[in-house]
Amino acid sequence: MGVSADRLSARLPGGDGALILAVFLALYAGFGLLGVLLGLDANGLASTLQRITFFAAVYALLALALNLQWGYAGLFNIGVAGFMAVGVYTMAMLTAPTDPGTGGLPGLGLPLPVGIVGGMLAAALVGALAALPALRLKADYLAIVTLALSEIIRIVYNSTSLRTFSIAGVDLGTGGSQGLALPTNPINALFYSDARSPASPPTALGEAAFGLFGAAGVQHTTVVDWTYTLVLVVFVWLFYRLLSRVGNSPFGRVLKAIREDELVARSLGKDTGRFKIKTFMLGCALMGLGGILWQGSQSYVSPNNFLPILTFYIFIALIIGGSGSNTGSVIGGALFVGLLFEGPTFVRRLVAQQIPLGDAPDTFVAAVEPLASLDVTPLLAYALGNLASLRFVLAGVVLVYFVQTRPKGLLGHRKEIAASVDLSERPNRPARADGGERR
Amino acid sequence: MADTYSRGKRVFVERPLELVLLTVGVALVADLLSKLANGTVTVLTLSIFLKDGIVIGLVIGLAGVGLSMTYSILNFANFAHGEYLTAGAFAGWVATYLVAGAGTVSAGDLFLLGVSGGADAGTVGASVFSTPLAVLVGFAVAVAFGVALALALDRLVYRPMRGQGAISLLIASIGVALALRYLLAFVFGTSRTGITGGTLPTYTVPVIDLIFNAHELALVAAALAMMGGVHLLLRRTKLGKAMRAMADNPDLARVTGIPTERVVRATWIIGGGLTGAAGYLVVLETGTISFDYGWTLLLLIFAAVILGGIGSIYGAMLGGLTIGIASTLSLIWIPSDFTHAAAFAVMILILLTRPSGLFSGVTTA
């Protein structure tokens, strides 16, 4: 499949950009068909495609950030959720009003851009804190340290003792397990005269947009959500450009050299530790921004949004696409969301609509017992009812499958080579044509 | 004199973090003693914390032995280890329920352990005291299932990947963990339910009035017996020697004619069995079961293994006890929702200051 995807991108005019576009169009076609079969109206279809695009974009953002750390520099970070949490919480605490109403939590009352930059800086600093000493360790120790750190971060934000606290006379709060209110999405201000309330009269732009799309039967909230999703898509493009620039710069060449053989890079006089820390910090800042952009669509954030499972989802997305390839990261994010994350739910709705399965049994035993009389329907109904669990099982199986049989993902075999001249093209060394794999 | 001074100076300059840790440790002990002296912490409170710490620590140590062995011999961090614990516990308790409740409740409900279905802890009333046979059968099944699961997963997932890097295996184990955990959720549901029932005899330690119950006693006895068994196995048999050889240098072991595949299988058998047993025992003691409790214990088990030094069996046991006691004793100073965070922080600090572990020096046994 990797090879065929590659051939496809060679045949498509426009290269990688066209490949990404083709993947998205295929997803849209698939979900559009599912939506039509389900009998969704125009608004339902628009909002379905918005959901797919939104999640594909956030997973692409995070997979790109992770690709910088793992794909380029070989730093195995499984604390992504923790760094995202630091970004989002710092942003929320910096921007929360200084004198909240009853039930609100106090913050520093700074403007949103300051909050976002502050969130990224905080994530980068925590990343540096983790990376400074941990980079001396073996890769699997770094994994354990980052996972433990992300759990510590989540526990701290979840703690009741820090629900509200004050440092040097300034009142702050994390909200504990109830979570923390997020600042109003600035996109709302484009469409509504009062950004806080969708019931307020629309602005001139809102009037025009709502009128235009309303004629096609698309509701106001869908229009607003689509606008925010398009902003995320622009951010994906920015991340992609930034990381491609980093990857092709002299800095990026050192990173790839570290990934291939750290000893060689050190022998050439590169301070590899410093390179790794910088990369780790940049990656963590981007994860913080990714988290902010993701949670920015919600009105509040809670520690349960940052369970380790989130990190593993991002890893699955990156591994499907192929670590080491930026295009792969974006495609991996889209495929993960389309096929593993959202796809099963739609298939369930379709099956439930098309095939009358009757009431699902309450327990596994009640679902399995009829198998004795060769009746599969209750088990099928039970499986559809408990699809949430099966989706995780599927994700785990896909992860094992990819690591075992396609460790380079769909596009990872194109991982960019460390040298500026492709030395692997020499005809007498076909075995290393993948660009310097050591084994 | 000058030599001691320069050595002291070197320690001070080269290992500032370790020195800080030592100072903090000494300060904490001093603070504990002063709290005991002025009565803020009573001897009874302290002994309850110690007892709880030892109980949870033994379970963590038992599970840690398996993790430590696979880590040193197969050379990868198995993130699915917590799920071996949960799966063993579910298998064992299904067996216990089927034996204990046979005739009174339908087998289908018993199979579901009351997690979903009609067999609740009260009607079955499983405990060491009221249904000893059922608990013994369940324990044996938990061990057997742990072994079978470890071998099956090795055959399916890890064996085809022998020789691949530690990180590839680690990622595969994360996939295994996800799949196993949610298969359990699929079958047994996602709620946390009570398992043991009936009244338990309790025993009181004279002088300090410390009370402990039969399940805690059973856990301590079983865990210590299994650890003793592993000790004898590794020290007195040829297999133990082969394992230590493989942990030290797999290539050399193969060259000297050690059947490495067989040693790997033995590692999984011992590790899986101990882990299944640990899972069963922790449910016996806490009295509740849920599909994800192994995952929540995993980082603590890692902490124990790292504390003891990866590959060291005794290190894992001691590390488990240390982590267990540290997490309960920490309640004296910090709020209870931070105990896990404290244990993880200790683990990170150990990794940074002494990556080879506190009790290391030798690898494997």
- Contact criterion met (CB < 8 Å) for A365 and B160: no
Residue count of chain A, please give it: 439
The pLDDT of residue A436 is 47
The pLDDT of residue A253 is 85
Q: For chain B, list the strands marked E by DSSP.
A: 193-194, 202-205, 210-213, 288-289
CB A61 within 8 A of CB A239: yes
pLDDT greater than 80 at residue A434: no
Which alpha helices (DSSP H) does A165-249 contain, by range?
A: 186-191, 204-214, 220-248
A55 to each of A29, A295, B35, how far by Cα in Å? 17, 11, 53
CB A280 within 8 A of CB A288: no
Q: Which residues of A116-144 are buried (b: 16+ CB within 10 A; e: fewer)?
A: bbbbbbbbbbbbeebbeebbeebbbbbbb
Closest alpha carbon within chain B to A315: B171
Give A436 or A197, the one with higher predicted confidence: A197
From chain B, the residues in CB contact with A309 under 8 A are 178
| A288: Cβ contacts below 8 Å, ≥ 6 apart | A83, A84, A86, A87, A88, A90, A119, A120, A122, A123, A124
Closest alpha carbon within chain B to A389: B182
Residue whose tokens read 């050190």: A266
Q: How far apart, in whole angstroms, are the C-alpha atoms of residue A63 and residue A407?
A: 16
The pLDDT of residue B149 is 95
Least reliable range by pLDDT among A244-248, B85-89, B271-275, B281-285: A244-248
For residue A167, the surrounding DSSP H or E stretch is: strand A165-167
The pLDDT of residue B358 is 73
The pLDDT tens digits of the residues spanning B214-267 come to: 888 888 899 899 988 888 888 888 888 888 888 778 788 888 888 888 888 998
Between B116, B186, B190, which is nearest A390 by CB?
A: B186
Question: Cβ of A73 under 8 Å from any chain B Cβ?
Answer: no
- Mean of the per-residue pLDDT values for chain B? 84
Q: How far apart, in whole angstroms, are the C-alpha atoms of residue A143 and residue A156?
A: 20
Q: Kindly report the backbone phi and psi dihedral angles of residue B287, in degrees, each rounded to the nearest multiple of 5, phi listed first.
A: 80, 5
Q: Kindly report the backbone phi and psi dihedral angles of residue B116, in degrees, each rounded to the nearest multiple of 5, phi listed first.
A: -140, 155
The pLDDT tens digits of the residues spanning B29-53 come to: 888 888 888 877 888 888 888 999 9
Q: How far apart are the first and last CA of chain B?
A: 38
| CA distance to partner chain B, nearest, from residue A408 (Å) | 11
Confidence band (pLDDT; 50, 70, 90) for B117? low
Residue whose tokens read 């990404």: A20
CB B332 within 8 A of CB B41: yes
The pLDDT of residue A242 is 92
| CA distance to partner chain A, nearest, from residue B32 (Å) | 22
Give all domains of chain A, ordered by start, each with its CATH number. Answer: 40-335 (1.10.3470)
From chain A, the residues in CB contact with B348 under 8 A are 145, 148-149
- Contact criterion met (CB < 8 Å) for B112 and A309: no
The pLDDT of residue A433 is 47
Between A155, A390, A391, which is nearest B337 by CB?
A: A155
Pick from A163, A164, A157, A171: which is nearest to A97 by CA? A171
pLDDT greater than 50 at residue A439: no
Question: Cβ of B21 under 8 Å from any chain A Cβ?
Answer: no
| CA distance to partner chain A, nearest, from residue B338 (Å) | 7
Most confidently modeled range among A192-196, A350-354, B75-79, B138-142? B138-142
Question: Cβ of B152 under 8 Å from any chain A Cβ?
Answer: no
Between A362, A393, A395, which is nearest B183 by CB?
A: A393
ipTM of the complex: 0.86
Q: How far apart, in whole angstroms, are the C-alpha atoms of residue A235 and residue B248?
A: 49
Residue whose tokens read 């792969």: A328
Question: Cβ of B159 under 8 Å from any chain A Cβ?
Answer: no
pLDDT greater than 70 at residue A395: yes
- Contact criterion met (CB < 8 Å) for A140 and B77: yes
Between B108, B178, B351, which is nearest A399 by CB?
A: B178
**Assign residue A168 a region: left if phi > 0, alpha if psi is -120 to 50, beta otherwise?**
left
- Contact criterion met (CB < 8 Å) for A389 and B186: yes
Confidence band (pLDDT; 50, 70, 90) for A368? confident
- Contact criterion met (CB < 8 Å) for B351 and A139: no
pLDDT greater than 70 at residue B362: no
- Mean of the per-residue pLDDT values for chain A? 83
pLDDT, average across residues A48-76: 91
Q: How far apart, in whole angstroms, are the C-alpha atoms of residue B45 and residue A168?
A: 35
From chain B, the residues in CB contact with A175 under 8 A are none
CB A88 within 8 A of CB A94: no
The SS3 assignment for A297 reads coil
- Contact criterion met (CB < 8 Å) for A407 and B111: no
| A95: Cβ contacts below 8 Å, ≥ 6 apart | A107, A108, A109, A110, A111, A112, A114, A115, A183
Residue B214, CA atoms < 13 Å, CB-side half-sphere: 14
- List residues bridging with A365 in a β-sheet: none
The pLDDT tens digits of the residues spanning A139-151 come to: 778 888 899 999 9
Q: How far apart, in whole angstroms, are the C-alpha atoms of residue A91 and residue A119?
A: 5
Closest alpha carbon within chain B to A387: B186
The two structure tokens encoding residue B362:
């030798």
The two structure tokens encoding residue A65:
């950030």
The pLDDT of residue A63 is 94
CA angle, A168 then A170 then A173, to 5°: 120
pLDDT, average across residues B87-107: 86
Q: How far apart, in whole angstroms, are the C-alpha atoms of residue A213 and residue A61?
A: 28
Q: Percent helix, strand and coil across chain B, each rounded to 5?
A: 75, 5, 20
Query: What is the distance of C-alpha A76 from the center of its chain?
Result: 16
B140 to each of A169, B89, B214, B225, B267, how far by Cα in Å? 59, 11, 19, 14, 19
Q: How far apart, in whole angstroms, are the C-alpha atoms of residue A145 and residue A101?
A: 39
- Contact criterion met (CB < 8 Å) for A389 and B190: yes
The pLDDT of residue A416 is 58
From chain A, the residues in CB contact with B338 under 8 A are 155-156, 159, 161
Question: Cβ of A387 under 8 Å from any chain B Cβ?
Answer: no
CB atoms within 10 A of CB A98: 11
The pLDDT of residue B13 is 61
The pLDDT tens digits of the residues spanning B319-331 come to: 999 889 888 888 8
Q: Which of residues 76-105 of B touch A (CB under 8 A)?
A: 76-77
pLDDT greater than 50 at residue A438: no
The pLDDT of residue B111 is 78
pLDDT greater than 70 at residue B205: yes
Question: Cβ of A393 under 8 Å from any chain B Cβ?
Answer: yes
The two structure tokens encoding residue A403:
């690591």
pLDDT greater than 70 at residue A153: yes
Pick from B264, B174, B250, B237: which is nearest to B365 by CA? B237
The pLDDT tens digits of the residues spanning B136-192 come to: 999 999 999 999 999 999 999 998 888 788 888 999 999 999 999 999 999 888 888
Which of A399, A402, A405, A437 best tests the B interface by mutation, with the highest count of B CBs <10 A? A399
Residue B199, CA atoms < 13 Å, CB-side half-sphere: 2
pLDDT, average across residues B111-117: 70
The pLDDT of residue A418 is 56
Between B116, B175, B347, which is nearest A396 by CB?
A: B175
Which of B337, B346, B356 best tests the A interface by mutation, with the highest count of A CBs <10 A? B337
The SS3 assignment for A426 reads coil
The pLDDT of residue A297 is 85
The pLDDT of residue A422 is 57
Query: What is the distance of C-alpha A382 from the center of its chain?
Result: 30
Give all domains of chain B, ordered by start, each with its CATH number. Answer: 41-353 (1.10.3470)
The pLDDT of residue B278 is 93
CB B260 within 8 A of CB B343: no
From chain A, the residues in CB contact with B178 under 8 A are 309, 312, 392-393, 395-396, 399
The pLDDT tens digits of the residues spanning A120-136 come to: 999 999 999 888 766 77
From chain A, the residues in CB contact with B175 under 8 A are 395-400, 403
Write a three-state SS string for A97-146. CCCCCCCCCCCCCCCHHHHHHHHHHHHHHHHHHHHHHHCCCCHHHHHHHH
The pLDDT of residue A236 is 94
Torsion over CA: B285, B291, B293, B298 (sign):
positive
The crossing angle, in degrees rounded to 10, of helices A112-134 and A139-158 is 140
A253 to each of A64, A286, A297, how far by Cα in Å? 17, 20, 36
The crossing angle, in degrees rounded to 10, of helices B293-308 and B339-353 is 30
- Contact criterion met (CB < 8 Å) for A319 and B178: no
CB A158 within 8 A of CB A305: no
Give A387 or B1, the one with higher predicted confidence: A387
Query: What is the distance of C-alpha B28 from the center of its chain?
Result: 26
The SS3 assignment for A77 reads coil
Between B160, B303, B351, which is nearest A137 by CB?
A: B351
Could you please report the per-residue DSSP string of B62-101? Answer: HHHHHHHHHHHHH-S--TTHHHHHHHHHHHHHHHHHHHHT
Q: Which of residues 201-230 of B touch A (CB under 8 A)?
A: none
Burial of B13 (0-12, 13-18, 19+ CB in 10 A): exposed
- Contact criterion met (CB < 8 Å) for A140 and B178: no
Judging by DSSP bridges, how do beta strands B202-205 and B210-213 pair with one another?
Answer: antiparallel
Q: How far apart, in whole angstroms, are the C-alpha atoms of residue A162 and residue A362?
A: 40
Least reliable range by pLDDT among A127-136, A216-225, B107-116: B107-116
Q: How far apart, in whole angstroms, are the C-alpha atoms of residue A293 and residue A288?
A: 9
pLDDT greater than 70 at residue B339: yes
Judging by DSSP bridges, how do beta strands B193-194 and B210-213 pair with one another?
Answer: unpaired
Torsion over CA: B27, B28, B33, B35 (sign):
positive
Residue A424, CA atoms < 13 Å, CB-side half-sphere: 16
Between A369, A395, A399, which is nearest B108 by CB?
A: A369
Q: Which of residues 261-300 of B touch A (CB under 8 A)?
A: 299
| CA distance to partner chain A, nearest, from residue B178 (Å) | 5
- List residues bridging with B153 in a β-sheet: none
The pLDDT of residue B215 is 86
The pLDDT of residue A202 is 81
The pLDDT of residue A91 is 92
Closest alpha carbon within chain B to A160: B337
Query: What is the distance of C-alpha A81 from the center of its chain?
Result: 10
- Contact criterion met (CB < 8 Å) for A393 and B345: no
Question: Cβ of B355 under 8 Å from any chain A Cβ?
Answer: yes
CB A137 within 8 A of CB A145: yes
Q: Kindly report the backbone phi and psi dihedral angles of residue A300, in degrees, each rounded to the nearest multiple of 5, phi listed first.
A: -150, 165
Residue whose tokens read 């917590």: B82
pLDDT, average across residues A348-373: 79
CB B267 within 8 A of CB B234: no
- Contact criterion met (CB < 8 Å) for A389 and B76: no
Confidence band (pLDDT; 50, 70, 90) for B3? low
The pLDDT tens digits of the residues spanning A22-42 come to: 999 999 999 999 888 888 888
